[in-house]
Structure 1
Protein backbone atom coordinates (compact mmCIF):
# COMPACT_ATOMS: atom_id res chain seq x y z
CA UNK A 1 0.00 0.00 0.00
CA UNK A 2 1.54 3.31 -1.06
CA UNK A 3 1.36 6.58 0.88
CA UNK A 4 -1.73 7.85 -0.94
CA UNK A 5 -3.65 4.61 -0.39
CA UNK A 6 -2.67 4.58 3.29
CA UNK A 7 -3.91 8.17 3.68
CA UNK A 8 -7.24 7.32 2.10
CA UNK A 9 -7.55 4.28 4.36
CA UNK A 10 -6.99 6.43 7.47
CA UNK A 11 -9.62 8.92 6.32
CA UNK A 12 -12.16 6.15 5.77
CA UNK A 13 -11.41 4.69 9.20
CA UNK A 14 -11.91 8.10 10.76
CA UNK A 15 -15.27 8.46 9.09
CA UNK A 16 -16.58 5.07 10.07
CA UNK A 17 -14.93 4.47 13.46
CA UNK A 18 -16.25 5.32 16.91
CA UNK A 19 -16.41 9.06 17.68
CA UNK A 20 -13.78 10.54 19.95
CA UNK A 21 -14.66 11.45 23.53
CA UNK A 22 -14.70 15.15 22.60
CA UNK A 23 -16.96 14.50 19.63
CA UNK A 24 -19.34 12.52 21.85
CA UNK A 25 -19.46 15.38 24.37
CA UNK A 26 -20.15 17.90 21.62
CA UNK A 27 -22.95 15.74 20.23
CA UNK A 28 -24.55 15.34 23.65
CA UNK A 29 -24.38 19.09 24.22
CA UNK A 30 -25.90 19.74 20.79
CA UNK A 31 -28.77 17.32 21.44
CA UNK A 32 -29.49 18.86 24.84
CA UNK A 33 -29.54 22.38 23.41
CA UNK A 34 -31.90 21.32 20.61
CA UNK A 35 -34.18 19.51 23.07
CA UNK A 36 -34.07 22.42 25.51
CA UNK A 37 -35.46 24.82 22.92
CA UNK A 38 -38.30 22.46 22.10
CA UNK A 39 -39.20 21.56 25.70
CA UNK A 40 -39.22 25.19 26.79
CA UNK A 41 -41.32 26.17 23.77
CA UNK A 42 -43.80 23.27 23.62
CA UNK A 43 -43.61 21.59 27.03
CA UNK A 44 -42.78 17.94 27.67
CA UNK A 45 -45.83 16.48 25.93
CA UNK A 46 -45.67 18.86 22.97
CA UNK A 47 -42.03 18.11 22.12
CA UNK A 48 -41.80 14.66 20.54
CA UNK A 49 -38.70 12.53 20.11
CA UNK A 50 -39.08 12.96 16.35
CA UNK A 51 -39.03 16.75 16.75
CA UNK A 52 -35.91 16.60 18.93
CA UNK A 53 -34.10 14.33 16.47
CA UNK A 54 -35.07 16.57 13.56
CA UNK A 55 -33.97 19.74 15.36
CA UNK A 56 -30.65 18.13 16.32
CA UNK A 57 -30.24 16.68 12.80
CA UNK A 58 -29.71 13.18 14.09
CA UNK A 59 -31.64 9.95 13.76
CA UNK A 60 -34.23 8.95 16.34
CA UNK A 61 -32.17 5.80 16.83
CA UNK A 62 -29.14 7.89 17.81
CA UNK A 63 -31.27 9.87 20.26
CA UNK A 64 -32.52 6.74 22.01
CA UNK A 65 -29.11 5.08 21.93
CA UNK A 66 -27.66 8.04 23.80
CA UNK A 67 -30.47 8.76 26.28
CA UNK A 68 -32.82 5.77 26.30
CA UNK A 69 -36.08 7.73 26.27
CA UNK A 70 -37.59 11.18 25.84
CA UNK A 71 -38.07 11.34 29.60
CA UNK A 72 -34.33 10.89 30.13
CA UNK A 73 -33.65 13.64 27.61
CA UNK A 74 -35.99 15.93 29.53
CA UNK A 75 -34.30 15.22 32.85
CA UNK A 76 -30.86 15.73 31.31
CA UNK A 77 -31.93 19.06 29.79
CA UNK A 78 -33.17 20.50 33.09
CA UNK A 79 -30.24 19.29 35.18
CA UNK A 80 -27.72 20.43 32.57
CA UNK A 81 -29.29 23.90 32.50
CA UNK A 82 -29.05 24.22 36.28
CA UNK A 83 -25.58 22.73 36.64
CA UNK A 84 -24.05 24.69 33.76
CA UNK A 85 -25.44 28.02 34.90
CA UNK A 86 -24.55 27.59 38.55
CA UNK A 87 -21.00 26.62 37.67
CA UNK A 88 -20.69 29.77 35.58
CA UNK A 89 -22.36 31.99 38.18
CA UNK A 90 -20.52 30.81 41.31
CA UNK A 91 -20.07 34.17 43.06
CA UNK A 92 -17.01 35.65 44.69
CA UNK A 93 -18.30 37.76 47.56
CA UNK A 94 -16.29 40.57 49.13
CA UNK A 95 -15.97 39.61 52.81
CA UNK A 96 -15.55 43.29 53.73
CA UNK A 97 -19.08 44.16 52.67
CA UNK A 98 -21.88 44.43 55.20
CA UNK A 99 -23.79 41.16 55.53
CA UNK A 100 -26.86 42.68 53.83
CA UNK A 101 -24.75 43.63 50.81
CA UNK A 102 -23.09 40.22 50.73
CA UNK A 103 -26.48 38.54 50.57
CA UNK A 104 -27.62 41.07 47.98
CA UNK A 105 -24.69 40.10 45.75
CA UNK A 106 -25.77 36.44 45.91
CA UNK A 107 -29.36 37.37 45.10
CA UNK A 108 -28.24 39.54 42.17
CA UNK A 109 -26.20 36.72 40.63
CA UNK A 110 -29.01 34.19 40.92
CA UNK A 111 -31.95 36.36 39.95
CA UNK A 112 -30.28 37.90 36.91
CA UNK A 113 -30.25 34.33 35.58
CA UNK A 114 -33.56 33.09 36.99
CA UNK A 115 -35.81 36.06 36.20
CA UNK A 116 -35.66 35.62 32.43
CA UNK A 117 -38.23 34.36 29.90
CA UNK A 118 -36.04 31.27 29.31
CA UNK A 119 -36.09 30.18 32.95
CA UNK A 120 -39.74 31.13 33.39
CA UNK A 121 -40.52 28.71 30.56
CA UNK A 122 -38.37 26.02 32.15
CA UNK A 123 -40.03 26.46 35.52
CA UNK A 124 -43.50 26.13 34.01
CA UNK A 125 -42.51 22.88 32.30
CA UNK A 126 -40.93 21.51 35.48
CA UNK A 127 -43.98 22.40 37.59
CA UNK A 128 -46.28 20.71 35.07
CA UNK A 129 -44.20 17.51 35.15
CA UNK A 130 -43.24 17.39 38.84
CA UNK A 131 -45.62 14.54 39.68
CA UNK A 132 -44.55 12.50 36.66
CA UNK A 133 -40.85 12.94 37.44
CA UNK A 134 -40.40 12.88 41.23
CA UNK A 135 -36.71 11.98 40.89
CA UNK A 136 -36.19 15.08 38.77
CA UNK A 137 -37.71 17.28 41.47
CA UNK A 138 -35.32 15.76 44.01
CA UNK A 139 -32.34 16.31 41.70
CA UNK A 140 -33.34 19.91 41.05
CA UNK A 141 -33.48 20.45 44.79
CA UNK A 142 -29.99 19.00 45.19
CA UNK A 143 -28.43 20.56 42.09
CA UNK A 144 -29.99 24.00 42.39
CA UNK A 145 -31.59 24.84 45.70
CA UNK A 146 -28.98 23.21 47.93
CA UNK A 147 -26.05 24.67 46.01
CA UNK A 148 -27.47 28.17 46.31
CA UNK A 149 -28.20 27.53 49.99
CA UNK A 150 -24.57 26.53 50.54
CA UNK A 151 -23.41 29.88 49.17
CA UNK A 152 -25.74 31.71 51.53
CA UNK A 153 -24.91 29.47 54.50
CA UNK A 154 -21.22 30.35 54.22
CA UNK A 155 -22.08 34.05 54.46
CA UNK A 156 -24.43 33.53 57.38
CA UNK A 157 -21.91 31.38 59.24
CA UNK A 158 -19.22 34.04 58.84
CA UNK A 159 -21.62 36.76 60.02
CA UNK A 160 -22.63 34.65 63.03
CA UNK A 161 -18.96 34.10 63.93
CA UNK A 162 -18.48 37.88 63.99
CA UNK A 163 -21.59 38.41 66.11
CA UNK A 164 -23.40 40.24 63.32
CA UNK A 165 -26.22 37.69 63.23
CA UNK A 166 -27.74 35.15 65.58
CA UNK A 167 -28.14 32.02 63.43
CA UNK A 168 -27.45 28.80 65.38
CA UNK A 169 -28.11 26.75 62.23
CA UNK A 170 -26.73 28.61 59.17
CA UNK A 171 -27.85 25.87 56.75
CA UNK A 172 -31.47 26.02 57.92
CA UNK A 173 -31.40 29.83 57.84
CA UNK A 174 -29.90 29.76 54.34
CA UNK A 175 -32.71 27.50 53.10
CA UNK A 176 -35.26 30.02 54.40
CA UNK A 177 -33.37 32.84 52.70
CA UNK A 178 -33.28 31.08 49.33
CA UNK A 179 -36.99 30.27 49.59
CA UNK A 180 -37.90 33.86 50.43
CA UNK A 181 -35.49 35.76 48.21
CA UNK A 182 -34.89 33.45 45.23
CA UNK A 183 -37.59 30.79 44.86
CA UNK A 184 -40.57 33.05 45.56
CA UNK A 185 -39.83 35.63 42.83
CA UNK A 186 -38.90 32.89 40.38
CA UNK A 187 -42.23 31.16 41.02
CA UNK A 188 -44.12 34.46 40.65
CA UNK A 189 -42.42 34.97 37.29
CA UNK A 190 -43.27 31.45 36.10
CA UNK A 191 -46.92 31.90 37.09
CA UNK A 192 -47.13 35.20 35.22
CA UNK A 193 -47.68 37.24 38.39
CA UNK A 194 -44.58 39.33 37.71
CA UNK A 195 -42.53 40.01 34.57
CA UNK A 196 -39.56 37.68 33.97
CA UNK A 197 -36.99 40.44 34.39
CA UNK A 198 -34.62 41.51 37.16
CA UNK A 199 -35.25 45.21 36.74
CA UNK A 200 -35.06 48.08 39.23
CA UNK A 201 -38.48 47.30 40.70
CA UNK A 202 -37.65 43.63 41.17
CA UNK A 203 -34.31 44.47 42.78
CA UNK A 204 -35.94 46.93 45.19
CA UNK A 205 -38.44 44.26 46.22
CA UNK A 206 -35.60 41.78 46.77
CA UNK A 207 -33.72 44.32 48.88
CA UNK A 208 -36.75 44.67 51.13
CA UNK A 209 -36.95 40.89 51.48
CA UNK A 210 -33.27 40.67 52.41
CA UNK A 211 -33.60 43.44 55.00
CA UNK A 212 -36.64 41.68 56.49
CA UNK A 213 -34.64 38.45 56.72
CA UNK A 214 -31.69 40.24 58.34
CA UNK A 215 -33.91 41.89 60.94
CA UNK A 216 -35.14 38.47 61.96
CA UNK A 217 -31.57 37.22 62.37
CA UNK A 218 -30.09 40.13 64.34
CA UNK A 219 -29.00 39.40 67.92
CA UNK A 220 -31.78 40.42 70.28
CA UNK A 221 -29.68 42.86 72.27
CA UNK A 222 -28.70 44.63 69.04
CA UNK A 223 -32.34 44.97 68.06
CA UNK A 224 -33.22 46.31 71.52
CA UNK A 225 -30.52 48.96 71.30
CA UNK A 226 -31.69 49.97 67.80
CA UNK A 227 -35.26 50.44 69.07
CA UNK A 228 -34.25 52.78 71.90
Structure 2
Protein backbone atom coordinates (compact mmCIF):
# COMPACT_ATOMS: atom_id res chain seq x y z
CA UNK A 1 0.00 0.00 0.00
CA UNK A 2 1.43 3.36 -1.05
CA UNK A 3 2.13 5.65 1.85
CA UNK A 4 0.65 9.13 1.53
CA UNK A 5 2.49 12.14 2.85
CA UNK A 6 0.85 15.04 4.49
CA UNK A 7 2.11 18.53 3.90
CA UNK A 8 4.10 19.55 6.93
CA UNK A 9 5.91 22.67 7.94
CA UNK A 10 8.14 24.02 5.15
CA UNK A 11 11.85 23.59 5.54
CA UNK A 12 13.96 26.54 6.55
CA UNK A 13 15.13 27.21 3.00
CA UNK A 14 11.57 26.98 1.69
CA UNK A 15 10.37 29.41 4.36
CA UNK A 16 12.95 31.95 3.21
CA UNK A 17 11.90 31.57 -0.43
CA UNK A 18 8.20 31.93 0.44
CA UNK A 19 8.92 34.97 2.60
CA UNK A 20 10.92 36.59 -0.22
CA UNK A 21 8.12 35.85 -2.70
CA UNK A 22 5.60 37.44 -0.33
CA UNK A 23 7.78 40.54 0.07
CA UNK A 24 8.25 40.79 -3.71
CA UNK A 25 4.49 40.70 -4.21
CA UNK A 26 3.93 43.19 -1.40
CA UNK A 27 6.44 45.61 -2.93
CA UNK A 28 4.59 45.52 -6.25
CA UNK A 29 1.27 46.14 -4.51
CA UNK A 30 2.56 48.99 -2.34
CA UNK A 31 4.00 50.55 -5.49
CA UNK A 32 0.67 50.23 -7.32
CA UNK A 33 -1.75 51.21 -4.55
CA UNK A 34 0.26 53.13 -1.96
CA UNK A 35 0.32 52.35 1.74
CA UNK A 36 -3.01 53.86 2.72
CA UNK A 37 -5.06 52.26 -0.06
CA UNK A 38 -3.64 48.75 0.18
CA UNK A 39 -5.32 46.19 2.42
CA UNK A 40 -3.67 43.11 3.84
CA UNK A 41 -6.54 41.09 2.35
CA UNK A 42 -5.35 42.17 -1.10
CA UNK A 43 -1.75 41.26 -0.28
CA UNK A 44 -2.83 37.84 1.01
CA UNK A 45 -4.95 37.17 -2.06
CA UNK A 46 -2.32 38.24 -4.60
CA UNK A 47 0.52 36.48 -2.78
CA UNK A 48 -1.65 33.38 -2.26
CA UNK A 49 -1.08 33.21 1.46
CA UNK A 50 -3.36 33.47 4.44
CA UNK A 51 -3.86 36.60 6.50
CA UNK A 52 -2.69 34.56 9.46
CA UNK A 53 0.64 33.99 7.71
CA UNK A 54 1.15 37.73 7.21
CA UNK A 55 0.25 38.55 10.81
CA UNK A 56 2.43 35.78 12.23
CA UNK A 57 5.47 36.73 10.14
CA UNK A 58 5.21 40.51 10.20
CA UNK A 59 2.58 41.64 12.71
CA UNK A 60 0.58 43.98 10.46
CA UNK A 61 0.66 46.28 7.46
CA UNK A 62 3.12 48.75 9.00
CA UNK A 63 5.58 45.98 9.80
CA UNK A 64 5.12 44.42 6.36
CA UNK A 65 5.92 47.75 4.71
CA UNK A 66 9.04 48.12 6.85
CA UNK A 67 10.15 44.60 5.93
CA UNK A 68 9.71 45.40 2.22
CA UNK A 69 11.89 48.51 2.51
CA UNK A 70 14.55 46.73 4.58
CA UNK A 71 14.75 43.80 2.17
CA UNK A 72 15.23 46.07 -0.84
CA UNK A 73 17.80 48.08 1.08
CA UNK A 74 19.69 45.03 2.39
CA UNK A 75 19.99 43.58 -1.09
CA UNK A 76 21.02 46.92 -2.54
CA UNK A 77 23.63 47.90 0.06
CA UNK A 78 25.13 44.40 0.24
CA UNK A 79 25.79 44.44 -3.51
CA UNK A 80 27.14 47.98 -3.90
CA UNK A 81 30.35 47.57 -5.96
CA UNK A 82 32.53 49.77 -3.77
CA UNK A 83 35.61 47.64 -3.31
CA UNK A 84 38.71 49.30 -4.68
CA UNK A 85 41.60 47.07 -5.68
CA UNK A 86 44.92 47.67 -7.35
CA UNK A 87 43.32 46.56 -10.62
CA UNK A 88 40.57 49.19 -10.52
CA UNK A 89 41.01 52.93 -10.89
CA UNK A 90 38.77 55.24 -8.86
CA UNK A 91 36.99 56.13 -12.09
CA UNK A 92 36.21 52.46 -12.77
CA UNK A 93 34.92 51.81 -9.24
CA UNK A 94 32.59 54.81 -9.40
CA UNK A 95 31.34 53.90 -12.89
CA UNK A 96 30.52 50.36 -11.70
CA UNK A 97 28.77 51.75 -8.63
CA UNK A 98 26.88 54.36 -10.66
CA UNK A 99 25.57 51.84 -13.18
CA UNK A 100 24.45 49.44 -10.45
CA UNK A 101 22.79 52.27 -8.52
CA UNK A 102 20.88 53.70 -11.48
CA UNK A 103 19.87 50.29 -12.82
CA UNK A 104 18.20 49.59 -9.48
CA UNK A 105 16.53 52.90 -8.67
CA UNK A 106 15.16 53.37 -12.20
CA UNK A 107 13.25 50.06 -12.16
CA UNK A 108 9.54 50.74 -12.61
CA UNK A 109 8.61 49.16 -9.26
CA UNK A 110 11.15 51.32 -7.41
CA UNK A 111 10.01 54.46 -9.23
CA UNK A 112 6.36 53.76 -8.36
CA UNK A 113 7.12 52.86 -4.74
CA UNK A 114 9.14 56.04 -4.27
CA UNK A 115 6.35 58.11 -5.84
CA UNK A 116 3.76 56.57 -3.51
CA UNK A 117 5.91 57.25 -0.45
CA UNK A 118 6.50 60.86 -1.46
CA UNK A 119 2.78 61.34 -2.11
CA UNK A 120 1.91 60.11 1.39
CA UNK A 121 4.90 61.61 3.23
CA UNK A 122 2.94 64.43 4.88
CA UNK A 123 0.11 62.15 5.96
CA UNK A 124 2.38 59.28 7.05
CA UNK A 125 5.71 60.87 8.02
CA UNK A 126 6.81 57.81 9.98
CA UNK A 127 6.81 55.70 6.83
CA UNK A 128 8.66 58.34 4.85
CA UNK A 129 11.27 58.32 7.63
CA UNK A 130 11.37 54.50 7.55
CA UNK A 131 11.96 54.55 3.81
CA UNK A 132 14.72 57.18 4.00
CA UNK A 133 16.48 55.58 6.98
CA UNK A 134 16.51 52.08 5.48
CA UNK A 135 17.01 53.11 1.85
CA UNK A 136 18.65 56.36 0.66
CA UNK A 137 20.46 57.06 3.95
CA UNK A 138 22.12 53.64 4.03
CA UNK A 139 23.41 54.15 0.49
CA UNK A 140 24.69 57.60 1.42
CA UNK A 141 26.49 56.22 4.48
CA UNK A 142 28.09 53.40 2.48
CA UNK A 143 29.36 55.82 -0.16
CA UNK A 144 30.56 58.22 2.57
CA UNK A 145 32.66 55.42 4.09
CA UNK A 146 34.15 54.67 0.68
CA UNK A 147 35.06 58.30 -0.02
CA UNK A 148 36.57 58.66 3.47
CA UNK A 149 38.78 55.61 2.83
CA UNK A 150 39.85 57.04 -0.53
CA UNK A 151 40.75 60.32 1.20
CA UNK A 152 42.85 58.47 3.74
CA UNK A 153 44.65 56.67 0.93
CA UNK A 154 45.39 60.02 -0.74
CA UNK A 155 43.28 59.37 -3.84
CA UNK A 156 40.73 62.11 -3.08
CA UNK A 157 41.08 65.65 -1.79
CA UNK A 158 40.39 66.23 1.89
CA UNK A 159 36.94 67.47 2.79
CA UNK A 160 33.54 66.42 4.06
CA UNK A 161 33.15 62.86 2.75
CA UNK A 162 29.40 62.88 3.37
CA UNK A 163 29.04 66.06 1.33
CA UNK A 164 31.00 64.46 -1.53
CA UNK A 165 28.82 61.35 -1.36
CA UNK A 166 25.63 63.43 -1.51
CA UNK A 167 26.89 65.47 -4.44
CA UNK A 168 27.86 62.35 -6.38
CA UNK A 169 24.48 60.68 -5.80
CA UNK A 170 22.67 63.87 -6.82
CA UNK A 171 24.75 64.06 -10.00
CA UNK A 172 23.95 60.42 -10.81
CA UNK A 173 20.21 60.91 -10.46
CA UNK A 174 20.21 64.30 -12.11
CA UNK A 175 17.45 65.79 -14.18
CA UNK A 176 16.83 62.54 -16.05
CA UNK A 177 15.73 60.73 -12.90
CA UNK A 178 13.42 63.64 -12.01
CA UNK A 179 11.84 63.42 -15.47
CA UNK A 180 11.43 59.68 -15.14
CA UNK A 181 9.68 60.07 -11.78
CA UNK A 182 7.20 62.41 -13.50
CA UNK A 183 6.62 59.90 -16.29
CA UNK A 184 8.23 62.18 -18.87
CA UNK A 185 11.09 59.85 -19.73
CA UNK A 186 11.37 56.09 -20.16
CA UNK A 187 13.71 53.87 -18.17
CA UNK A 188 17.19 54.24 -19.73
CA UNK A 189 18.86 51.37 -21.53
CA UNK A 190 22.09 49.87 -20.16
CA UNK A 191 24.09 51.69 -22.86
CA UNK A 192 22.43 55.02 -22.00
CA UNK A 193 23.06 54.46 -18.30
CA UNK A 194 26.74 53.65 -18.88
CA UNK A 195 27.26 56.74 -21.05
CA UNK A 196 25.53 58.95 -18.47
CA UNK A 197 27.51 57.53 -15.54
CA UNK A 198 30.83 57.95 -17.33
CA UNK A 199 30.04 61.64 -17.92
CA UNK A 200 29.04 62.10 -14.29
CA UNK A 201 32.21 60.43 -12.98
CA UNK A 202 34.40 62.43 -15.36
CA UNK A 203 32.97 65.77 -14.24
CA UNK A 204 32.78 64.76 -10.57
CA UNK A 205 36.43 63.72 -10.36
CA UNK A 206 38.02 66.09 -12.85
CA UNK A 207 35.74 69.14 -12.84
CA UNK A 208 34.77 71.44 -15.67
CA UNK A 209 37.77 73.76 -15.81
CA UNK A 210 40.47 73.11 -18.41
CA UNK A 211 43.79 71.87 -17.07
CA UNK A 212 45.56 75.19 -17.74
CA UNK A 213 42.82 77.32 -16.12
CA UNK A 214 43.89 79.55 -13.26
CA UNK A 215 41.70 79.02 -10.18
Tell me if both proteins adopt one fold, taking TM over 0.5 as the criterion. Answer: yes
- Greater helix proportion: 1
Equivalent-residue separation in structure 1 for 2:152 and 2:57 (angstroms)? 49
Equivalent-residue separation in structure 2 for 1:157 and 1:103 (angstroms)? 14
Equivalent-residue separation in structure 1 for 2:82 and 2:153 (angstroms)? 21
Compute the displacement of 1:166 (Å): 1.9
Partner of 1:227, secondary structure, is: coil
2:55 is the counterpart of 1:69: no
Q: Name which of 65, 69, 78 aligns with 1:78.
A: 69
Q: Alpha carbons of 1:226 and 1:148: their partners in 2 closer, same or farther (altered >3 Å)?
A: farther
Root-mean-square deviation (CA, aligned residues, Å) is 3.4
Match of 2:151 in 1: 160
Bigger relative contact order, structure 1 or 2 (CA pairs below 8 A, ≥6 apart): 2
2:201 is the counterpart of 1:210: yes
| Structure 2 residue runs without a partner (length 5+) | none
Is the Cα–Cα contact under 8 Å of residues 111 and 198 in structure 1 kept in the other structure? no
Q: Alpha carbons of 1:204 and 1:88: their partners in 2 closer, same or farther (altered >3 Å)?
A: closer
Map 1:1-228; keep pairs closer than 5 Å: 15=8, 21-22=12-13, 24-161=15-152, 163-182=154-173, 185-215=176-206, 226-227=212-213
What is the TM-score when the length of structure 2 is the normalising length? 0.75
| Structure 1 residue runs without a partner (length 5+) | none
Q: Deviations over 1:91-142 (max 9, x none)?
A: 4444444433332221011112222222212222222232344333334333
Partner of 1:47, secondary structure, is: coil
Q: Alpha carbons of 1:52 and 1:207: their partners in 2 closer, same or farther (altered >3 Å)?
A: same
What is the TM-score when the length of structure 1 is the normalising length? 0.72
Equivalent-residue separation in structure 2 for 1:136 and 1:117 (angstroms)? 20
Aligned length: 213
Equivalent-residue separation in structure 2 for 1:138 and 1:185 (angstroms)? 25
